[in-house]
């Protein structure tokens, strides 16, 4: 048995549900903070738990290069290594490898790439990407796909989509034969209520063409995965185009399986996508923006380094109940940031993650009440 997904309530196309993983239950729709190299930058794990993070994301490409899959496996997998008892999802490494541009070469067999750390040469195939993710010990792992660049011609987008489908089949075959080789199988045998192996999700591609998106979704569903991601978005297209591609895929994807949109988005976007029936989202935005002094609040985005906050005695967000907003002033947060103090990154990240997680909590609550219109129009407090 891998994962279970149960839908509890619906409001239009939106739904709340529970995804049971080998490392506990996740309430959906869920926002997953990104912990690229086995850390959500600037956040200790106990703070993440206190914020209510139920699942976080690790990047296979980065962990494969440093500290290395075997090292992580020998240290108890990602859960043991980073002392994180809750669920983890890893990406396939494809997205990062494809962002390397000049440093990679793609063939039917896989991708040869050079490390951004030391220039050394490496190779990822669907099989080795599965082996790496199983070795890291994630609860949810992703099929190896090609993230089609944008813009791409129809011919190029089709060829890329076809290769992603062939790689999805190879990913699934390798996974089926090796899924119990994770670092924690024995541990979960002691808790028979929880799944005893990770789950492999398929990924819909197809560039920015609705017919290719639909075909990619249909043919990925034929391969039969326990969950489906919509990839290749937020690569420079308009927000309207992102929504059109998500809507097209959602029409085809099975309603009883989790739907994951990779790499999105702003707070208003994740609310919109949840309303469309998306269950899982991840993005570096709240954590990366925090380190640049950009705070998301119920009154919009604020740039804490702005001189106008130098004497501001108010909290970052008057409607936020997080530890940062209950204790510190904008004036202090600005001072930390302009002084380049490490605490600036810690406090800004803590608030932004609290804002994102509270946003999703409000969305889940509204769905349970059967009406998302208040959250969508912004008239209900998001914090």
Please list the active-site residues.
91, 282
Minimum CB distance to Zn ion, residue 336 (Å): 15
Q: What number of CA atoms fall less than 13 Å from residue 177's CA on the CB side?
A: 8
Task: Tell me how far apart the alpha carbons of residues 34 and 54 are, in angstroms, rounded to a whole number.
Answer: 12
**Cβ-based nearer residue to Zn ion, 281 or 324:** 324
Task: Tell me how far apart the alpha carbons of residues 54 and 33 are, in angstroms, rounded to a whole number.
Answer: 9
Q: Which of residues 293-352 bind Zn ion (CB under 5 A)?
A: 320, 322, 324-325, 351
Q: How far is CA 108 from CA 25, 99, 168, 185, 241, in A?
A: 37, 18, 12, 32, 29
Minimum CB distance to Zn ion, residue 43 (Å): 14
Could you tell me the two tokens for 85? 């008892």
Task: Tell me how far apart the alpha carbons of residues 179 and 74 are, in angstroms, rounded to a whole number.
Answer: 17
DSSP 308: G
Minimum CB distance to Zn ion, residue 51 (Å): 10
| Number of residues located near Zn ion, criterion CB under 5 A | 6
Q: Is 91 left (phi over 0), alpha (psi -120 to 50) or beta?
A: beta
| Strand partners of residue 16 | 9
**Cβ-based nearer residue to Zn ion, 270 or 325:** 325
Minimum CB distance to Zn ion, residue 231 (Å): 31
Minimum CB distance to Zn ion, residue 352 (Å): 8
Residue 211's SS3 state is helix
**Cβ-based nearer residue to Zn ion, 169 or 323:** 323
**Cβ-based nearer residue to Zn ion, 98 or 356:** 356
Rg (CA), the chain: 20
Q: Is 277 left (phi over 0), alpha (psi -120 to 50) or beta?
A: left
353 touching Zn ion, by CB under 5 A: no
**Cβ-based nearer residue to Zn ion, 22 or 267:** 267
Backbone phi and psi for residue 175, each to the nearest 5 degrees, phi listed first: -60, -45
Cβ atoms of residues 48 and 55 within 8 Å: no
**Cβ-based nearer residue to Zn ion, 152 or 294:** 294
Residues present in the chain in total? 383
Alpha-helical regions (H) of 233-341: 239-252, 267-276, 285-291, 323-327, 330-338
Task: Tell me how far apart the alpha carbons of residues 34 and 288 are, in angstroms, rounded to a whole number.
Answer: 10
Residue 84's SS3 state is coil
Minimum CB distance to Zn ion, residue 306 (Å): 18
Minimum CB distance to Zn ion, residue 354 (Å): 5
Q: Which of residues 52-71 bind Zn ion (CB under 5 A)?
A: none
Cβ atoms of residues 241 and 268 within 8 Å: no
**Cβ-based nearer residue to Zn ion, 158 or 351:** 351
- Positions touching Zn ion (CB under 5 A) are 320, 322, 324-325, 351, 354
């Amino acid at each position: 048995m891998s994962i279970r997904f149960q839908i509890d309530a619906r409001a239009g196309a939106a739904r709340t549900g529970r995804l049971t993983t080998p490392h506990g239950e996740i309430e959906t729709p869920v926002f997953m903070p990104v912990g690229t190299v086995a850390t959500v930058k600037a956040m200790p794990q106990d703070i993440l738990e206190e914020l209510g993070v139920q699942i976080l994301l690790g990047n296979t490409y980065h962990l494969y290069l440093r500290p290395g899959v075997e090292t992580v496996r020998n240290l108890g997998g990602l859960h043991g290594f980073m002392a994180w008892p809750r669920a983890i999802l890893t990406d396939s490494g494809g997205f990062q490898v494809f962002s390397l541009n000049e440093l990679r070469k793609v063939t039917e067999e896989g991708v040869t790439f050079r490390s951004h750390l030391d220039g050394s040469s490496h190779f990822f195939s669907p099989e080795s990407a599965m082996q790496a993710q199983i070795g890291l010990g994630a609860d949810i792992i992703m099929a190896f796909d090609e993230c089609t660049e944008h813009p791409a011609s129809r011919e190029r987008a089709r060829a890329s989509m076809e290769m992603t489908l062939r790689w999805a089949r190879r990913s699934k075959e390798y996974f089926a034969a090796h899924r119990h080789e994770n670092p924690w199988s024995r541990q979960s045998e002691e808790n028979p209520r929880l799944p005893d192996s990770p789950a492999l999700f398929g990924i819909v591609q197809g560039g920015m063409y609705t017919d290719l998106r639909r075909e990619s979704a249909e043919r990925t569903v034929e391969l039969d995965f326990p969950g489906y991601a919509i990839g290749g978005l937020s690569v420079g297209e308009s927000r309207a185009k992102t929504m059109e591609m998500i809507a097209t895929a959602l029409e085809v994807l099975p309603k009883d399986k989790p739907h994951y949109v990779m790499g999105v988005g702003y707070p208003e976007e994740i609310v919109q996508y949840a309303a469309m029936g998306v269950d899982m989202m991840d993005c570096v935005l709240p954590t990366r923006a925090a380190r640049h002094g950009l705070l998301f609040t119920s009154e919009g985005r604020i740039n804490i380094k702005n001189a106008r906050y130098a004497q501001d005695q108010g909290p970052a967000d008057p409607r936020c109940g997080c530890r940062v907003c209950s204790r510190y002033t904008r004036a202090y947060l600005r001072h930390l940031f302009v002084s380049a103090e490490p605490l600036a990154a810690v406090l800004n990240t803590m608030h932004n993650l609290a804002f994102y997680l509270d946003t999703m909590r409000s969305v889940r609550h509204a769905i349970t009440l059967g009406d998302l219109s208040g959250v969508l129009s912004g008239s209900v407090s998001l914090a």
